[in-house]
Amino acid sequence: MEAFGRLFGSMFSKRPVVIGMIHLSPLPGTPGYDGQKLKEIAFQACQEGRIYNKYGLDGLIIENMHDVPYMKGKVGPEIVAAMTRVASEIRDSFDLPLGIQILSGAHKESLAVAHSTGAQFIRVEGYVFAHVADEGLMESCAGELLRYRRNIGAEDIMVWTDIKKKHSSHSITSDVSLGETAKAAQFFKSDGLIITGSSTGQPPSPISVQEVREVISDLPIIVGSGVTLKNIKELSVTSSGVIVGSHFKVGGHWYNPINEEAIENFMEAVHDVSTLRR
């Protein structure tokens, strides 16, 4: 598809692409916020970005993971302002592709932040079909979101979409296979498909990745959870790239500080995989 060739393909020259997740400290107004100044939150995010850049990652994505419990489908203006501040400072510091995700399901807000800061993609959950998440029932957003993207002139921003998103029950769509869900997302003009395990830090099965690749040949497929040094080779065989957060933290837990040794070892393994794929 045009989006794959023009955007993803031109932005990332090698495979597998590695995107480092930056989990921002709790933002103002959320239950976990401890009074930390925004400039300090942005500084910490930029420090993590520098580490990822040092070890040759291909891109970054920022997420308000610490803002639990999440709002469903919206956030306040204070979160949009904070995410914009952080994204702007990261964009000013690194020449790396940047993605935005605002939990939970605040996709128009993510797109607005990306558009105003020069970020290149957003991560979207609940793009097609409905599912029951821990925030409640979340319905598909594709039609409204892509019309909003057109209205604000942000069509150069890629929309990467989780299918069968983690932290959700899929019993109401249990008769719709992962492959069929992927085809629905493609039909609704997704720019990239993200496959995850059942929760943060849990990988999808390689069979799941293969199932999607067998029916989708012209969109990037990104593994979005549970990627580690042990499974990178297996999970990257048929995928275009990976988003890594938990594995790059101390003890493999997303809420801990960055572990540089884990990043270095992982990127060495990725180099070996990239060499084999040439």
Q: What local confidence, expressed as pLDDT, does residue 3 receive?
A: 44
CA–CA distances in Å: residue 204 to residues 65, 168, 208, 212, 226: 20, 14, 6, 12, 7
Q: What local confidence, expressed as pLDDT, does residue 4 receive?
A: 44
Q: What local confidence, expressed as pLDDT, does residue 1 receive?
A: 40
Q: Name the nearest CA neighbour of 185 among 99, 123, 116, 272.
A: 123
With H, G, I as helix, E, B as strand and everything else as coil, classify residue 36.
coil
Segment 47-52 shows an average pLDDT of: 98
Task: Copy the structure tokens of residue 46.
Answer: 């930029």
Q: Are 215 and 182 in contact (CB under 8 A)?
A: yes
User: 31: cis peptide before it, omega within 30°?
Assistant: no
**What number of CA atoms fall less than 13 Å from residue 62's CA on the CB side?**
34
Q: Are 61 and 98 in contact (CB under 8 A)?
A: yes
User: 199: cis peptide before it, omega within 30°?
Assistant: no
Segment 206-213 shows an average pLDDT of: 94
Structure confidence at residue 9 as a pLDDT band (50, 70, 90): confident
Q: Is 217 exposed, middle or buried (0-12, 13-18, 19+ CB in 10 A)?
A: exposed
- Mean of pLDDT over the chain: 92
**Which residues form the domain of 139?**
2-6+14-277
Is residue 45 pLDDT above 60, yes or no?
yes
> How does pLDDT run across 111-146, given as a tens digit for each residue?
999 999 999 999 999 899 988 888 888 889 999 999
Q: What local confidence, expressed as pLDDT, does residue 173 receive?
A: 72
More confident site: 199 or 106: 106
Three-point CA angle 14, 17, 23, nearest 5°:
155
| β-bridge partners, 131 | 138
User: DSSP string of 124-186?
Assistant: ESS-SS-EEETTEEE---HHHHHHHHHHTT-TTSEEEEEES-SSEE-GGGTTS-HHHHHHHHH
More confident site: 273 or 70: 70
pTM metric for this prediction: 0.94
Q: Which long-range contacts (CB under 8 A, 24 or more apart) does 184-189 make?
A: 184/128, 184/129, 185/127, 185/128, 185/142, 185/161, 186/1, 186/216, 186/219, 188/127, 188/128, 188/140, 188/142, 188/143, 188/146, 189/3, 189/142, 189/146, 189/159
Type of residue at 16: P
Is residue 5 pLDDT above 60, yes or no?
no
Q: What is the CATH number of the domain that holds 118?
A: 3.20.20.70
53-57, 196-200, 218-222: least confident range? 196-200
Q: What local confidence, expressed as pLDDT, does residue 28 receive?
A: 97
Helix (H), strand (E) at residue 39 = helix 38-54
> How does pLDDT run across 250-265, given as a tens digit for each residue?
999 999 999 999 999 9
Q: What local confidence, expressed as pLDDT, does residue 130 receive?
A: 85
Residues in the chain: 278
Is residue 158 pLDDT above 80, yes or no?
yes
Count of the separate structural domains present in the chain: 1
Q: What local confidence, expressed as pLDDT, does residue 15 receive?
A: 84
> Which backbone phi and psi does 18 adopt, to 5 degrees?
-120, 120
More confident site: 1 or 140: 140
